[in-house]
Amino acid sequence: MHRAEHNWLRARSPTLDEFDALARDAFRALPGEFLRLCGDVVILVEDFPDEAVVAEMKLESEFEILGLYTGVALPFQDSFGPPRLPNTVHLYRRPILDYWAEHDETLGDIVAHVMIHEIGHHFGLSDEAMHRIEDEAG
């Protein structure tokens, strides 16, 4: 009888720090040109979105959102405008882990997908445009 290589008796969910490392690996894997254009983007890993995000997006549950981009997309940035908060990609660990448990994808692939999707918002792409690009690529 073949024994599984992974010891599931000792397995646990990745911590926020481990998840942050996974997110940063996904970010660094972006093509060089994208990375240069993302120079000021902050990556923030949190367990859940805050109550304001849940209310603003009219979510029934904090598990309904895997990630969020906040800031001013590149096409709309004005260097002469007032100071702004940093452009931020928020990744929500617990909803992503929940999604992972229900789908046949690796955690790394899911984190990379969410990262790329939120970076797409940095470039000014809508959800519809990103879904169209994904459909055409797949």
- Which CATH number goes with the domain that contains 48? 3.30.2010.20
d(CA 81, CA 5): 56
Q: Which domain holds residue 121?
A: 21-75+88-137
The answer to whether residue 10 is domain-embedded is: no
The pTM of the whole model exceeds 0.75:
yes
> CA quadruple 106, 103, 14, 112: dihedral positive or negative?
positive
Give yes or no for a contact between 100 and 123, defined as CB atoms under 8 angstroms apart.
no
Give the total number of structural domains in the chain: 1
pLDDT tens profile 44-95: 999 999 999 999 999 999 999 999 998 865 555 666 555 566 889 999 999 9
Edge-to-edge strand ranges of the sheet holding 88-92: 42-46, 88-92, 67-70
pLDDT tens profile 107-127: 999 999 999 888 888 777 788
